[in-house]
């Protein structure tokens, strides 16, 4: 027996193990995917901002999964268009027509009435997905208190008011899953986003406290923190070429696709995992560790970033 024959005999067991392991992993993935799809079947699922890129993906995924959707958004015509598209792209024998509710957290006076409307849709709620968000980027001294209040209404007081309004119903049924889609800036601050980060820190803290308080009632609270969600590119080639290279690098490195995010949300509802961090890069996670373990270094890096930004803006002028 030659050396080549001996090598062939030694390789085959290894290949067999690899193929077997790959097969087991594939079957396990299929089972998890099936379980995830059945998670929302016949469940009453509320999405607070169905008109956003992520909201659209969640609505499509949950609708095909057989959920009884309550789609919220600040534009009635766009909600109707979304509902019509969902129904036209699905099997009506396996899905339910979505209920529509016009919701705008920037108008807090209307929220109590809207809560009653939401509860009247099906008489109960099983899953709440809070994905409403308002972004603002500017130096602290240039933002008015009025803008601060609007951002806090949309990102904090709106979700808090809604969850308080439906909480008695969830507690009485002793079941439910509340999921907050939140920015990584709910855990990590970035210069020029003080108001946004403050609102995200506030809502993160609220839902983490809520998690402990409602666990005894069989209610799960999950938070999904992401870097930023990629949106469909509608710019021309000329507009894209005019963008700074660092913007393209950031979008490619750190951005999370909306469909991946929606799938992760569905998996979280199935596994009932308490906390998820979504990022395509290790850097955001490393920044979180650096903030906790080496705060002075972290603050120095942030300050250096501010100085570099100021220098770039001056050179562009």
The rounded distance, in Å, linking the Cα atoms of 159 and 182 is 11
Kindly tell me if the per-residue pLDDT of 130 is higher than 50. yes
pLDDT per position as a tens digit, 50-92: 999 999 999 999 999 999 999 999 999 999 999 999 999 988 8
pLDDT exceeds 50 at position 176 = yes
- In this predicted structure, the answer to whether residue 216 has a pLDDT above a threshold of 90 is yes
Burial class of residue 90 (count of CB atoms within 10 Å of its CB; 0-12, 13-18, 19+): middle
Q: CA angle, 182 as apex, 201 and 310 as ends, to 5°?
A: 65
Q: pLDDT tens for residues 220-240?
A: 999 999 987 877 654 444 444
Report yes or no: 96 and 66 within 8 Å, Cβ to Cβ. yes
Domains and CATH numbers, the chain: 21-281 (3.40.50.720), 285-317 (no CATH)
Answer whether residue 309 shows pLDDT above 90. Answer: no
What integer pLDDT is reported at residue 253 of this predicted model?
54
Measured distance CA(227)–CA(206) in Å, rounded: 20
The pTM of this model reads 0.81
Q: What are phi and psi for residue 44, nearest 5 degrees? A: -85, 115
pLDDT grade, residue 2 (50/70/90)?
low
State the pLDDT confidence band at 293, using cuts at 50, 70 and 90: confident
Residue 185: pLDDT over 80: yes
Mean pLDDT of the chain: 84
pLDDT of residue 294: 78
- Can you give the pLDDT at residue 247? 45
Q: Are 265 and 129 in contact (CB under 8 A)?
A: yes
Residue 289: active-site member = no
Residue-wise pLDDT for 238-282, tens only, equals 444 444 444 444 545 567 899 999 999 999 999 999 999 988 777
Whether the CB-CB separation of 44 and 122 falls below 8 Å is answered with yes
What is the spatial distance between Cα 101 and Cα 168, in angstroms, rounded to a whole number?
20
* pLDDT of amino acid 241: 46
- The DSSP letter of residue 229 is E
Q: Higher confidence at residue 169 or residue 298? A: 169
The predicted structure's pLDDT at residue 304: 78
Contacts of 218 (CB under 8 A, 6+ apart): 174, 175, 176
Q: Please give the share of the chain, as a percent, with pLDDT higher than 90.
A: 60
**Residue 298 pLDDT > 90:** no
**pLDDT at 46 exceeding the cut of 60:** yes
Three-class SS state of 181: strand
Catalytic residue, candidates 26, 196, 217, 289: 196
> If residue 293 lies in a helix (H) or strand (E), which one and from where to where?
helix 283-293
């Amino acid at each position: 027996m030659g050396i080549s024959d001996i090598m062939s005999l030694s390789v085959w067991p290894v290949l067999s193990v690899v193929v077997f392991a790959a097969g087991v992993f594939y079957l396990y993935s299929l089972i998890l995917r099936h379980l995830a799809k059945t998670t929302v079947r016949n469940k009453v699922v509320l999405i607070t901002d169905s008109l956003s890129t992520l909201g659209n993906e969640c609505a499509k995924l949950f609708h095909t999964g057989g959920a009884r959707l309550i789609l919220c958004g600040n534009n009635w015509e766009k909600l109707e268009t979304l509902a019509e598209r969902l129904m036209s792209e699905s099997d009506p024998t396996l899905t339910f027509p979505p209920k529509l509710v016009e919701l705008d957290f920037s108008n807090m006076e209307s929220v109590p009435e809207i809560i009653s409307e939401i509860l009247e849709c099906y008489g109960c709620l099983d899953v709440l997905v809070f994905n409403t968000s308002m972004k603002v980027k500017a130096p602290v001294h240039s933002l008015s208190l009025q803008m601060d209040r609007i951002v806090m209404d949309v990102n904090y007081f709106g979700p808090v008011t809604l969850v308080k309004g439906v909480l008695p119903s969830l507690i009485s049924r002793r079941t439910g899953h509340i999921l907050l889609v939140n920015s990584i800036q709910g855990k990590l601050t970035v210069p020029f986003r003080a108001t946004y980060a403050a609102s995200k820190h506030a809502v993160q803290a609220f839902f983490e406290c809520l998690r402990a308080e409602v666990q005894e009632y069989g209610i799960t609270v999950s938070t999904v923190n992401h870097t930023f969600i990629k949106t469909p590119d509608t710019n021309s080639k000329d507009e894209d070429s005019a963008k700074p290279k660092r913007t393209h690098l950031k979008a490619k490195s750190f951005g999370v696709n909306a469909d991946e995010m929606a799938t992760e949300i569905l998996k979280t509802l199935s596994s009932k995992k308490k906390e998820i961090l979504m990022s395509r890069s290790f850097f955001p996670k490393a920044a979180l560790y650096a903030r906790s373990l080496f705060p002075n270094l972290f603050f120095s890096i942030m300050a250096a970033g501010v100085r570099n930004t100021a220098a770039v803006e001056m050179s562009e002028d």
